Amino acid sequence: MTSSESVFQHDNPFTIGIEEEYMLCNPETGELINRANEIMENIDSDLKSRYSYELILSEIEINTSVCKTVSEAMEEITFLRGNTKILGESLGFRLGISGTHPTAICKDQLFVDNDSYRWVVEQLSYYARRNITFANHVHVAVNGAECAIHVANALRRWITPLLALSTNSPFFEGELTGLRSSRTFQFGIFPRTNIPVRFNNFKEYNGLIDKYLETNTITKPRQIWWKIRPHIDFGTIEFRICDAQRSLRNIEMLSALAQALVYQAVEDYNSNTLLESFNMEYLYDGLWKASRFPMGANIIDPVTYEVCTIKGQIEQMMEYTNESLNFFNNSHIVKSVNHICENGTEGDDQMEVYNNSGFDGLKKYLMDNIEFQLN
């Protein structure tokens, strides 16, 4: 099944799409509750394409249409959050948002019963049930299949700072894990969730997909779940790094950064200045440090090999995207980045709430503090 390069032909490159994964919670206790089937049965027909199952029945995914701007995408996210909240009022659930549920027990989870997820369960067995994780994904359209491959290579450099800004899953199965993003490693148990290697061209990337299909490693390309991937169904670069976020400002920030990073990388590709080759050990060390330690932790710059901090990498990313953020009229998101660097991530908020109110207070907080309007 060699993929056509034509999927990477767009009338409007750099369009954007956002996906959010939500916890479905018991309104009284905050524990997970199985309501995905009821949601899919009760959504309006014109919204069916905006909702999809995830692996477990206590989770639902929403996705925007293809949007020309981050602002347009945020309007859709705001609407879909509100619509799902209203559904919950009639179907007996409340939304919760976190990268992991803090107390849910893996063995209690029920799987979605369809061909795709039956395959996942057959492949992963016990570890499929441990995937009680919730993420934020962003798609950005790229013109040209060759360009997309090289841009995806280059964007691996920014996995560490993007994760550091979005860590929001310090708890799992009633334990303070010590990780800032336990989701990264709970989902990371799955195969093909790693940082991808560098590909020389689209043909090489297609060849890998074909070999995986030939050996029954996957049944479709979407079962490659890398941190950043060229998406051969949509003709996009998909960012799959970040934990789910309660704050709409944070979703706006992460989406604008994704769009700006892709735009700047395409500019570099066209001017033959794109940096694509990095020491994989340094990339993985950065991923680990961002998931485990605060922003003052030392890492190794994957380009210069110099020691820097995670916060220093965030500052480099902001410098790299400065002109691109201005181009898309999204420079205001710098305030959100600075706020997180100064005050901590949503995961830090979780730990503070837990220290003051325990798990009962935390589960209530994860439902009560979802933003439904972009203030």
Strands (E), 249-297: none
Residues 56-67 have a mean pLDDT of 98
**Does residue 286 fall inside a structural domain?**
yes
* Residue the block writes with tokens 């010590």: 178
Say what the pLDDT of residue 363 is.
99
Nearest to 286 by CA among 316, 306, 310, 268: 310
With cut-offs at 50, 70 and 90, classify the pLDDT of residue 4.
confident
Contact 69, 59 (CB under 8 A): no
Closest CA to 84 of 22, 27, 17, 162: 22
Give domain status of residue 74, yes or no.
yes
Q: What is the pLDDT of residues 293-350, one digit of tens each?
A: 999 999 999 999 999 999 999 999 999 999 999 999 999 999 999 999 999 999 999 9
**pLDDT tier for residue 1 given thresholds of 50, 70 and 90:** very low
pLDDT interval class at 354 (50, 70, 90): very high
Which of the pair, 201 or 375, is modelled with greater confidence? 201
CATH at residue 200: 3.30.590.20
**Containing domain of residue 102, as a range?**
5-368
pLDDT of residue 274: 98
CB 16 within 8 A of CB 69: yes
pLDDT digits (tens, 9 = 90+) for 266-291: 999 999 999 999 999 999 999 999 99
| Residues 86-130: tens digit of each pLDDT | 999 999 999 999 999 999 999 999 999 898 889 999 998 888 888
pLDDT of residue 3: 63
Higher pLDDT, 30 or 120: 30
What does pLDDT average to over the chain? Answer: 97
Number of structural domains (the chain) is 1
Q: Is residue 375 part of a domain?
A: no
Our CA angle for 182, 39, 347, nearest 5°, is: 20
Q: Is residue 373 part of a domain?
A: no
The verdict on residue 307 lying in a domain is yes
Mean pLDDT score, 45-70 = 97
| The pLDDT value given to residue 375 | 80
pLDDT for res 253: 99
Q: What are phi and psi of 84, to 5 degrees?
A: -70, -35
Residue 87 lies in a domain: yes
The pLDDT score that the predictor gives to residue 58 is 98
Is residue 136 pLDDT above 50, yes or no? yes
**Residues 100, 102, 106, 111, CA torsion sign:** negative
Whether residue 374 lies inside any domain: the answer is no
Residue 152 has pLDDT above 70, yes or no: yes
Q: What percent of the chain has pLDDT over 90?
A: 94
Q: Give the pLDDT confidence score for residue 129 in this predicted structure.
A: 87
Q: Is 236 exposed, middle or buried (0-12, 13-18, 19+ CB in 10 A)?
A: buried
DSSP 165-185: HH--B-EETTEE-S-SBHHHH
CA–CA separation, 274 vs 157, rounded Å?
11
pLDDT of residue 366: 99
Checking if the pLDDT of 182 tops 50, the result is yes
Overall pTM > 0.85: yes
Place of tokens 């841009």: 151
Q: Say if 358 falls within a structural domain.
A: yes
| Residue spans of beta strands (DSSP E) within the chain | 16-25, 51-53, 59-63, 94-96, 135-141, 171-172, 175-176, 228-231, 236-243, 298-300, 307-309
